[in-house]
Amino acid sequence: MFNKTLIAASVATALSLASASANAVLMDLAGGGGAGVNLLGGSAVQNVLSLDWAPDNALAINALGTPTGAILDVIGAPRAPGQGDNDQYFQTVAQGSLSAFGIQGLAAGDLKNNPGIYGREFTFVTSFFEFSQGLGSAATSAFRLAPGESYFRIYADTTPDANQITGGGYADGVLILEGVLSSVSGNYTDFTRLPNTDPNFEPITGLDQFAPDNNAPGVTTHQGSGSNAITVKVTSLNNAYFLGDVTELALNLTYVDSTNLTDPFEQANPSNTVVGFTPTYSVDAGGNPVNGATCGFDDRGPIGKTEGANGSGDRGTRCDFHFQTDASGAFRVSVPEPGSLALIGLSFAALGAIGRRRKFA
């Protein structure tokens, strides 16, 4: 059931903000299709501008062990479409739990920005493919979106169970938003790969530094930081949560997310699984797991034998890159058609006025 007054308000908001960088999207945060109430008994209908996710996990699958395009040629393996000589091609997955909504007109600390007040947890899971240059081999690396299946999904769950240690509970409840990635750009600096005379050099350290417990005993990591930005083209919305013309909103809605990437984990626990993938790390000469270390190709014969002080591994060994993420995103609604029509209408009105003036001149 749509509330017509709310639809009108939503359309007006979308039109007036069409050129702004972020748009409010009218949502019923209790999934009531406009009739939902929050735990204080007030309306759960809010104009949502942004989503602030709590620090959590991402895993770049075999990012350190994937050959570049040039090496694929030498070993006679196919490149991914568009893969350059220096590009590595891999899948990245990430998860998060919402820490706060950014609701239009409310102060950041307002209770209504707290997802808990709507009686459910909000979580996301995403998977996409990237090209990277330099990850696992140079101090700085850059990423961009690569061909391959992608998704970004947000769930509302009335039985909260997201568990950062196990990595479970992020993809259950009700799917409220789904989309595909339309862009990724990012970079990362591995401070452990800098010369140790560099003022920014950082040594290998424990992967989990998030108190109170070490949830990844025996696992060390390179230290580093970076950021990426993703754009999600929304393909479907749950109209119990998203109000207004949901079909049109889905066609035009994008969700733009900026994420800080860091190692070691200091504000979140490294999960045992990330979107179903169990992290598999590079290893040092003693066989101990070192996240971010060079992944060797022992069995490649003369090609790419990179075993050394930073790590080793047999060809076929999966060397993932596991990192902490801290994401926040905003909605963007593009509604070009109504805006164009309004301009056309104004033009006709102006022509009419000119015509009248001429008539009376």
Verify binding: residue 210, Ca ion, rule CB under 5 A: yes
In 3D, which of 315, 271, 46 has the Cα closest to residue 164?
271
In 3D, which of 259, 272, 214 has the Cα closest to residue 232?
259
For Ca ion, the closer CB: 69 or 329: 329
For Ca ion, the closer CB: 14 or 207: 207
DSSP secondary structure code for residue 320 in this structure: -
Query: Structure tokens of 107?
Result: 């102060």
> Of 5-13, 83-91, 211-219, 313-321, which part binds Ca ion (CB under 5 A)?
211-219
Closest distance between Ca ion and the C-beta of residue 256, in Å?
14
In 3D, which of 154, 24, 169 has the Cα closest to residue 98?
154
Phi, psi of 271 (to 5 degrees): -80, 150
Query: Structure tokens of 336?
Result: 């070009």
Site for Ca ion in 20-59 (CB under 5 A): 52-53
CA distance 210 to 73: 42
Verify binding: residue 266, Ca ion, rule CB under 5 A: no
Closest distance between Ca ion and the C-beta of residue 210, in Å?
4
CA distance 311 to 297: 10
For Ca ion, the closer CB: 15 or 54: 54
For Ca ion, the closer CB: 28 or 208: 208
Closest distance between Ca ion and the C-beta of residue 254, in Å?
19
Instruction: Candidates 73, 85, 161, 198: give the one binding Ca ion (CB under 5 A).
Output: 161
CA distances from 54 to 64, 101, 323 (A): 26, 11, 14
Site for Ca ion in 171-190 (CB under 5 A): 172
For Ca ion, the closer CB: 66 or 97: 97
Closest distance between Ca ion and the C-beta of residue 36, in Å?
18
Burial of 4 (0-12, 13-18, 19+ CB in 10 A): exposed
Closest distance between Ca ion and the C-beta of residue 217, in Å?
10
Number of residues that bind Ca ion (CB under 5 A): 15
Closest distance between Ca ion and the C-beta of residue 327, in Å?
5
Beta-bridged to residue 140, according to DSSP, are 189
Closest distance between Ca ion and the C-beta of residue 158, in Å?
7
At position 42, the amino acid (one-letter code) is G
Q: Is 97 helix (H, G, I), strand (E, B) or coil?
A: strand
Verify binding: residue 269, Ca ion, rule CB under 5 A: yes
For Ca ion, the closer CB: 14 or 162: 162
> Of 26-34, 137-145, 159-167, 219-227, which part binds Ca ion (CB under 5 A)?
159-167
For Ca ion, the closer CB: 129 or 155: 155
Q: Find the DSSP H helices in 230-304.
A: 246-252
CA distance 46 to 25: 8
Site for Ca ion in 319-348 (CB under 5 A): 326, 328
Instruction: Candidates 19, 21, 159, 196: give the one binding Ca ion (CB under 5 A).
Output: 159
For Ca ion, the closer CB: 11 or 268: 268
| Cβ proximity of 258 and 328 under 8 Å | yes
Verify binding: residue 169, Ca ion, rule CB under 5 A: yes
Phi, psi of 311 (to 5 degrees): 145, 170
CA distance 252 to 234: 7
Site for Ca ion in 48-107 (CB under 5 A): 52-53
86 φψ region: left (φ > 0), alpha (ψ -120 to 50), beta (else) = alpha
Verify binding: residue 291, Ca ion, rule CB under 5 A: no
The site for Ca ion (CB under 5 A) is made up of: 52-53, 157, 159, 161-162, 169, 172, 208, 210, 213, 215, 269, 326, 328
